[in-house]
Amino acid sequence: MSNYQHTSMYCYSGTDVLINLFHVEDEEKLKELEKVYSLLRLSELQLQKPINLLDINAFLAIHRYILQDVYPFAGELRQEMISKGSSSFAHPKHIEAQLLKIFTDLKSENYLKKLPRSQLISRLAYFLSELNALHPFREGNGRSVREFARQLVLNAGYRLDWGKVPEPAEIINAFVDSFNKDNNRLERLLDDIITP
């Protein structure tokens, strides 16, 4: 690590490896553990009844559940700046207020219930793009947002199956476009994976 790079409060000193409950300081090993445990927890969530009231607390609980075995910060809003490529996500001091706004808006839209499918897809893409741009967690944003969406759509009377997307890069590219204020690709992707 360069002397000029930012040191993350979430990483072991002098590394880019996230502090974890296994005390593993090898990034590849940690990624493998994270993958195994998060897939297990996501599978368990698929077998459970969706959370009825998908508010901010439910969203945090989804993140906590998925990453509870791996990270001590599971279910907590991040406290430092993060970025991917040339995209910087929301400043930590704005995360809570913006999350509250997103969930207030979602509640005012009755959690997308009783919408025609095309309108549900459009509004879902909007809310997912907002959550993605916020990136409220230090790690696990995509998995948490996708699981939240699956439960939200299920409560609205539809099924959303992310497994139908042939390449994970398609999901990433759709979210990159949405970060740049273009939800068309995300809407097309959702149209392919949401069924009655």
- Map out the domains of the chain with their CATH numbers: 38-195 (1.10.3290.10)
Condensed to tens digits (0 to 9), the pLDDT of residues 2-51 reads: 343 568 999 999 999 999 999 999 999 999 999 999 999 999 999 999 99
Condensed to tens digits (0 to 9), the pLDDT of residues 134-173 reads: 999 999 999 999 999 999 999 999 999 999 999 999 999 9
Rounded CA Rg of the chain: 17
For residues 135 and 141, the answer to whether their CB atoms sit within 8 Å is: yes
Provide the CB-side half-sphere exposure for 44 (13 A, CA).
11
